[in-house]
Amino acid sequence: MKIIFRIVMILAAAMMIGGALYAMVDRGSSSSPQTPAFENGDRPEGFPSSGEFAVGVRPERDEPGSALFFPAGVLKSLLIISIVSVIYLTLGKWIGKFRRQAASR
Amino acid sequence: MSKQNKIKLFLDISTFAAFLVAMDPRTSGIAVHEWLTIALAGAVIVHLLLNWNWIVEITSRLFTKGTNGSKLNYVLNWLLFIDGVLIMLSGIMISESVIPALGIILPVNFSLRSLHELSTNLSLALMGLHVALHWNWIVNTVKRLFMRGEVKSRPTAAFGQKDAQA
């Protein structure tokens, strides 16, 4: 019962955030003074000029031959996460060192 | 090492691995990308349930006492949660596999696609900070798991933070 209550709380928080974000995006796009190019009938670069996209294919993602770079996206994400972590940890160490030096004075 | 810590570690590692795979839809394909992300939402709920006591504790003393590090960690976790909701929401709105499979057809929205990519990129930076804040916990738990001996506990995160768990 306690776990169900907690799950409901998490989902309620997610729904409130989702609703607020959706309202913000919806209001932002409807109050925009300039009509986006694609709403004028101009398709963004890289999108087919007629017809629907094939099911399961996004033109900006599924370029032919992209499977050759198998782990490239995974490695790129891992690299970005690692860089951010290393920067934070190094900064944290420096600040800690600085604080200790200042306290010992 | 407690059973709950083992579960937490394995869940976090597998969630992180799934997150990395989900971040690369070119490799996995759109269907795997979408279904995996929905499974990830379930894993995040379990992650939050396992760390519920920490969340309640920090929330209750957010405006009274506590280190700046734990407050930063708390705010960062909320940002990660909000960003996750944004990714899921925009992802559902531009879904090409999961939502059509349910018989729902949503109109193509290019601004939501941009929002999805933007929030996904932001999640990488937030995830990097999340991992950094819990780095000492990760290292200590892995050491305890594989060394089976006593490992001296160090402060669990940068900036002298001692109560980073979630």
Instruction: Write the CA distances from B126 to B79, B122, B132, integer angstroms.
Output: 8, 6, 10
Both tokens assigned to B62: 């957010």
Is the ipTM of this structure higher than 0.95?
no
Higher pLDDT pick, B11 / B70:
B11
Contact call for B131 and A85, based on CB within 8 A: yes
Q: How many CB pairs (< 8 A) connect A and B?
A: 123
Place of tokens 């997150």: B19
pLDDT in tens, A6-35: 999 999 999 999 888 888 877 766 655 554
Contact call for A38 and B110, based on CB within 8 A: yes
Most distant pair of Cα atoms in chain B: their distance: 57
Angle at CA of residue A80, ends B13 and B37, nearest 5°: 50
Distance from CA of A102 to the nearest CA of B (A): 15
Residue B118 has pLDDT above 70, yes or no: yes
Q: pLDDT grade, residue B46 (50/70/90)?
A: very high
User: What's the pLDDT score for residue A102?
Assistant: 86
Helix (H, G, I), strand (E, B) or coil at A48: coil
Distance from C-alpha of A55 to C-alpha of A74, rounded to nearest angstrom: 24
pLDDT in tens, B73-110: 889 999 999 999 999 999 998 888 888 888 888 877 77
CA A102 to chain centre: 39
Of B100, B131, B81, B82, which is closest to residue B35 (Cα–Cα)?
Answer: B100
CB B132 within 8 A of CB B156: no
From the list B26, B52, B135, the residue facing A73 with the nearest CB is B26
CB B147 within 8 A of CB B54: no
Place of tokens 């504790």: B57
